[in-house]
Amino acid sequence: MIQIVKADGVAEQALIASLKARAAAVNEDITRAVAAIMEDVRVRGYQAVEEYSQRFDHAAPREITPEELNAAYAACDPALVQAMEHAEANIRDYNERLLTETREWRSPDGGQVGRIVRGLTRVGIYVPGGTAAYPSSVLMNAVPAKVAGVEEIVMVTPPTENLNTAVLAAAKIAGVDRVIALGGAQAVAALTYGADWIPQVDKLVGPGNAFVAAAKRLAYGTLDIDMVAGPSEVLVIADSAANPKYVAADLLSQAEHDRLASAWLLTDSMELAAQVDAEMVRQTGYLSRSEIMEESVARYGAAIVCDDLHQCAKLANLVAPEHLEIVTRQPRELLSEIKNAGAVFLGAWSPEPLGDYLAGPDHVLPTSGTARFFSPLSVDAFLKTMSVIEFDQNSLTPLAREIITFANAEHLTAHANSIQVRMEQEGEK
């Protein structure tokens, strides 16, 4: 089921290149279509939003009432409600421990300096509808925003005939302030520019299809976004002591997301690679999304047998995977060698689905190699900071000559004058 390759300096590099190429392609037709929608909404506002919603989703946008959210919560499976509330508590606890606080201190020159931390004013959350409706994503996006102190969280989700009960219940649990039945690029555009009763937001987060991703990319700069998410991916580093059943199950847990998902195994054991391959074939036989898994593994799956675990770590850093599992005898020993990954799962009892739902850290993670420079979503993403500077005459005066020197060197005489007039004024007294 999964191709097994012995690392030789060439084969594994070709695989990494093909993996990166799959996510690099941008559909220009989609981008052009979405750009037209964005511009139309910018110019015509809500009228355009409503027209696109009717055209694509056959329904006008509408606001979901608190009564509807309460009814969804009451109708939701109690066991799922309990799991969601448990997840909310863990996500909240994790982000509260990360929360950055405002700080001020006396500078070496005697002035007061510091940084003020504020939550964003309004944040939008996009939640897909249909088969891709994931209540866990509502929690992972909304709870960190709540912890950050965001004043208003606005969730949009496509206006399907029967809105997903679990998604609405999750919105209530997470404390979402407003839920609007609106989807697609038109929802992104409405939140980007504002459209009558649909407010403009400062930041937009959450997954979506290719049209939503393109719209978010175009919206960036007018508002902030979390990231443009690519296909899901997992990379497992495992040694000969790993249980092939566990490794296979974890690889398939990501392969089932979509046909572009990737599942990679890096190991120092050819025997383990063969065992994992056999297990993937066996387990796929009884899993519901077998066709998707088979295609994603065939196109974007690989098992690379390396000389040692250190080589595995080097290749993992080149891939920079969304999810990285280290299933070795001493996983923490290898952790120090890992530089690029969205989330790292240590040991056989820390499977990736634990992070998807209940562990506490966010499952909104950088994909397509962007873990080289992007970080997971967290409370930090919903904060902004402002520098604060307060000097008095006694602390500014000793710095005056150096400021003037800087300003003159940059030919900014008005900057220099701003200091000079103060010095001269005081000198006249």
Question: What's the rounded mean pLDDT across residues 2-8?
Answer: 94
Considering the entire predicted model, what is its pTM? 0.94
Most distant pair of Cα atoms in the chain: their distance: 90
Cα–Cα dist 364/357, whole Å = 11
Cα–Cα dist 56/44, whole Å = 18
Are the CB atoms for 323 and 264 separated by under 8 Å? no
Identify the active-site residue in 12, 50, 256, 323. 323
pLDDT, tens digit, 9 for 90 and up, residues 303-317: 999 999 999 999 999
Do 245 and 221 share a structural domain?
Answer: no
Q: How confident is the model at residue 215 (pLDDT cuts 50, 70, 90)?
A: very high
**pLDDT at residue 16 is higher than 90:** no
What pLDDT shows up at residue 24?
A: 62
> How big is the CA angle at 300 (ends 296 and 303), to the nearest 5 degrees?
115
What pLDDT shows up at residue 131?
A: 67
pLDDT, tens digit, 9 for 90 and up, residues 85-125: 999 999 999 999 999 999 999 999 999 999 999 999 999 99
CATH code of 235's domain: 3.40.50.1980
pLDDT, tens digit, 9 for 90 and up, residues 371-398: 999 999 999 999 999 999 999 999 999 9
Instruction: Give domain status of residue 386, yes or no.
Output: no
**pLDDT at residue 22 is higher than 80:** no
Report helix, strand or coil for 246.
helix
**pLDDT at residue 142 is higher than 90:** yes
Beta bridge partners of 263: 234
More confident residue, 48 or 19: 48
Instruction: Give domain status of residue 30, yes or no.
Output: no
Residue 88 annotated to the active site? no
What pLDDT shows up at residue 25?
A: 62
Question: What's the rounded mean pLDDT across residues 345-369?
Answer: 96
Instruction: Give domain status of residue 383, yes or no.
Output: no
Identify the active-site residue in 322, 325, 352, 363. 322
Are the CB atoms for 185 and 37 separated by under 8 Å? yes
Report the side by side order of strands in the sheet with 112-119: 103-106, 112-119, 383-390
Instruction: Give domain status of residue 163, yes or no.
Output: yes
Domain end among 209, 225, 241:
225
Alpha helices in 205-339 (DSSP H): 210-219, 244-255, 270-284, 290-300, 309-319, 331-335
Give residue 283's domain range.
Answer: 4-25+230-373
Residue 310 annotated to the active site? no
Percent of the chain with pLDDT over 70: 98
pLDDT, tens digit, 9 for 90 and up, residues 235-257: 999 999 999 999 999 999 999 99
Instruction: Give domain status of residue 212, yes or no.
Output: yes
Percent of the chain with pLDDT over 90: 90
Do 178 and 263 share a structural domain?
Answer: no
Domain count, the chain: 3
Residue of 378, 376, 351, 356 lying closest to 365 (CA atoms): 376
What pLDDT shows up at residue 28?
A: 87
What pLDDT shows up at residue 429?
A: 57
Question: What's the rounded mean pLDDT across residues 14-23?
Answer: 81
Domain end among 225, 251, 280:
225
Are the CB atoms for 174 and 147 separated by under 8 Å? no
